[in-house]
Amino acid sequence: MKMLLLDVVAAIVWVVFTGNGEFSNFLSGFILADLLLWFISPATKRPSFLRNVVRYIPFLLNFIKEYILSNVKIIKEILTPGYGFKPGIIAIPLEDMTDLQIACLSNMITLTPGTFTLDCSLDRKTLYVHAMYIDTVQQAVDEIKNGFERQVRETLR
Protein backbone atom coordinates (compact mmCIF):
# COMPACT_ATOMS: atom_id res chain seq x y z
CA MET A 1 0.00 0.00 0.00
CA LYS A 2 2.90 2.33 0.70
CA MET A 3 4.25 1.75 -2.80
CA LEU A 4 0.88 2.69 -4.31
CA LEU A 5 0.84 5.90 -2.28
CA LEU A 6 4.39 6.64 -3.35
CA ASP A 7 3.42 6.06 -7.00
CA VAL A 8 0.44 8.42 -6.71
CA VAL A 9 2.50 11.15 -5.03
CA ALA A 10 5.22 10.84 -7.68
CA ALA A 11 2.58 11.02 -10.43
CA ILE A 12 1.14 14.21 -8.87
CA VAL A 13 4.63 15.71 -8.73
CA TRP A 14 5.04 14.73 -12.39
CA VAL A 15 1.77 16.52 -13.28
CA VAL A 16 2.85 19.65 -11.39
CA PHE A 17 6.27 19.77 -13.04
CA THR A 18 4.97 19.14 -16.56
CA GLY A 19 2.06 21.56 -16.14
CA ASN A 20 -0.31 19.17 -17.89
CA GLY A 21 -3.29 18.08 -15.77
CA GLU A 22 -4.73 15.54 -18.19
CA PHE A 23 -5.36 12.02 -16.97
CA SER A 24 -3.06 10.54 -19.62
CA ASN A 25 -0.18 12.67 -18.27
CA PHE A 26 -0.97 11.54 -14.72
CA LEU A 27 -1.00 7.92 -15.92
CA SER A 28 2.35 8.46 -17.65
CA GLY A 29 3.81 9.85 -14.44
CA PHE A 30 2.38 6.94 -12.48
CA ILE A 31 3.94 4.40 -14.84
CA LEU A 32 7.30 6.20 -14.86
CA ALA A 33 7.31 6.36 -11.08
CA ASP A 34 6.47 2.69 -10.82
CA LEU A 35 9.22 1.79 -13.29
CA LEU A 36 11.67 3.78 -11.20
CA LEU A 37 10.48 2.04 -8.04
CA TRP A 38 10.72 -1.30 -9.83
CA PHE A 39 14.38 -0.66 -10.63
CA ILE A 40 15.19 0.27 -7.05
CA SER A 41 12.97 -2.42 -5.48
CA PRO A 42 15.86 -4.85 -4.84
CA ALA A 43 17.45 -2.18 -2.64
CA THR A 44 14.20 -1.38 -0.80
CA LYS A 45 13.05 -5.04 -0.68
CA ARG A 46 9.53 -3.90 -1.61
CA PRO A 47 7.91 -4.88 -4.90
CA SER A 48 6.52 -2.12 -7.08
CA PHE A 49 2.76 -1.61 -7.32
CA LEU A 50 2.52 -2.92 -10.89
CA ARG A 51 4.45 -6.06 -9.95
CA ASN A 52 1.85 -6.70 -7.25
CA VAL A 53 -0.99 -6.11 -9.73
CA VAL A 54 0.58 -8.56 -12.20
CA ARG A 55 0.71 -11.16 -9.42
CA TYR A 56 -3.09 -10.98 -9.04
CA ILE A 57 -3.92 -11.58 -12.72
CA PRO A 58 -3.51 -15.41 -12.72
CA PHE A 59 -5.39 -15.53 -9.41
CA LEU A 60 -8.37 -13.65 -10.89
CA LEU A 61 -8.32 -15.59 -14.16
CA ASN A 62 -8.43 -18.91 -12.32
CA PHE A 63 -11.28 -17.72 -10.11
CA ILE A 64 -13.25 -16.64 -13.19
CA LYS A 65 -12.60 -20.05 -14.79
CA GLU A 66 -13.78 -21.90 -11.66
CA TYR A 67 -16.81 -19.60 -11.40
CA ILE A 68 -17.84 -20.31 -15.00
CA LEU A 69 -17.31 -24.08 -14.63
CA SER A 70 -19.41 -24.12 -11.45
CA ASN A 71 -22.18 -22.18 -13.16
CA VAL A 72 -22.17 -24.63 -16.07
CA LYS A 73 -22.43 -27.53 -13.61
CA ILE A 74 -25.39 -25.89 -11.85
CA ILE A 75 -27.14 -25.09 -15.16
CA LYS A 76 -26.65 -28.69 -16.27
CA GLU A 77 -28.16 -29.85 -12.96
CA ILE A 78 -31.19 -27.60 -13.47
CA LEU A 79 -31.79 -28.68 -17.05
CA THR A 80 -31.46 -32.44 -16.53
CA PRO A 81 -34.18 -34.33 -14.70
CA GLY A 82 -33.44 -36.20 -11.53
CA TYR A 83 -31.32 -35.70 -8.50
CA GLY A 84 -27.66 -35.70 -9.54
CA PHE A 85 -25.86 -33.97 -6.70
CA LYS A 86 -24.48 -35.33 -3.45
CA PRO A 87 -24.58 -32.52 -0.88
CA GLY A 88 -22.69 -32.48 2.37
CA ILE A 89 -20.73 -30.46 4.88
CA ILE A 90 -16.95 -30.83 4.94
CA ALA A 91 -14.29 -29.56 7.33
CA ILE A 92 -11.27 -28.07 5.62
CA PRO A 93 -8.14 -27.88 7.78
CA LEU A 94 -6.36 -24.52 7.47
CA GLU A 95 -2.65 -24.15 8.02
CA ASP A 96 -1.54 -20.86 9.55
CA MET A 97 -3.56 -18.43 7.46
CA THR A 98 -4.05 -14.75 8.24
CA ASP A 99 -7.50 -13.28 8.77
CA LEU A 100 -7.33 -11.66 5.32
CA GLN A 101 -6.44 -14.97 3.67
CA ILE A 102 -9.26 -16.79 5.49
CA ALA A 103 -11.76 -14.09 4.54
CA CYS A 104 -10.66 -14.19 0.90
CA LEU A 105 -10.81 -17.99 0.78
CA SER A 106 -14.24 -18.02 2.43
CA ASN A 107 -15.61 -15.47 -0.01
CA MET A 108 -14.18 -17.29 -3.03
CA ILE A 109 -15.81 -20.52 -1.87
CA THR A 110 -19.14 -18.79 -1.26
CA LEU A 111 -19.08 -16.91 -4.57
CA THR A 112 -18.57 -20.15 -6.49
CA PRO A 113 -21.98 -21.72 -7.19
CA GLY A 114 -22.52 -25.06 -5.47
CA THR A 115 -20.42 -24.23 -2.41
CA PHE A 116 -21.03 -22.12 0.66
CA THR A 117 -18.79 -21.32 3.61
CA LEU A 118 -20.67 -21.96 6.83
CA ASP A 119 -18.20 -21.14 9.59
CA CYS A 120 -14.60 -20.92 10.69
CA SER A 121 -13.48 -22.45 13.97
CA LEU A 122 -12.48 -20.11 16.78
CA ASP A 123 -8.84 -21.18 16.56
CA ARG A 124 -8.88 -20.42 12.76
CA LYS A 125 -7.72 -23.97 11.99
CA THR A 126 -10.88 -25.34 10.31
CA LEU A 127 -13.26 -23.97 7.71
CA TYR A 128 -16.69 -25.60 7.40
CA VAL A 129 -18.11 -25.68 3.88
CA HIS A 130 -21.36 -26.95 2.41
CA ALA A 131 -20.88 -28.38 -1.08
CA MET A 132 -23.46 -29.72 -3.52
CA TYR A 133 -21.13 -32.17 -5.23
CA ILE A 134 -19.11 -34.43 -2.91
CA ASP A 135 -17.93 -37.71 -4.42
CA THR A 136 -15.57 -38.34 -1.49
CA VAL A 137 -14.83 -36.04 1.41
CA GLN A 138 -11.07 -36.23 0.84
CA GLN A 139 -11.44 -35.32 -2.83
CA ALA A 140 -13.60 -32.29 -1.96
CA VAL A 141 -11.10 -31.14 0.67
CA ASP A 142 -8.18 -31.63 -1.71
CA GLU A 143 -9.91 -29.64 -4.45
CA ILE A 144 -10.27 -26.63 -2.18
CA LYS A 145 -6.82 -26.98 -0.57
CA ASN A 146 -4.99 -27.46 -3.89
CA GLY A 147 -7.14 -24.91 -5.69
CA PHE A 148 -8.42 -21.83 -3.91
CA GLU A 149 -6.40 -22.17 -0.69
CA ARG A 150 -3.07 -22.60 -2.52
CA GLN A 151 -3.81 -19.60 -4.73
CA VAL A 152 -4.85 -17.42 -1.81
CA ARG A 153 -1.64 -18.33 0.03
CA GLU A 154 0.56 -17.57 -3.00
CA THR A 155 -1.19 -14.33 -3.88
CA LEU A 156 -1.71 -12.86 -0.41
CA ARG A 157 1.56 -13.82 1.25
Per residue of the chain (157 residues), give pLDDT as tens: 566 777 788 888 888 888 888 888 888 888 888 777 777 766 556 565 666 667 778 888 888 888 898 888 888 888 887 777 888 999 999 988 888 889 989 998 988 888 899 999 999 999 999 998 888 899 988 988 888 888 888 887 7
> In angstroms, what is the C-alpha Rg of the chain?
21
Residues of the chain with CATH 3.30.70: 59-155
Q: Is 130:87 a contact under the CB 8 Å cutoff?
A: yes
The CATH class of 59-155 is alpha beta
- Cβ-in-10-Å burial (0-12, 13-18, 19+) of 63 comes to middle
Strand partners, 128: 91, 119
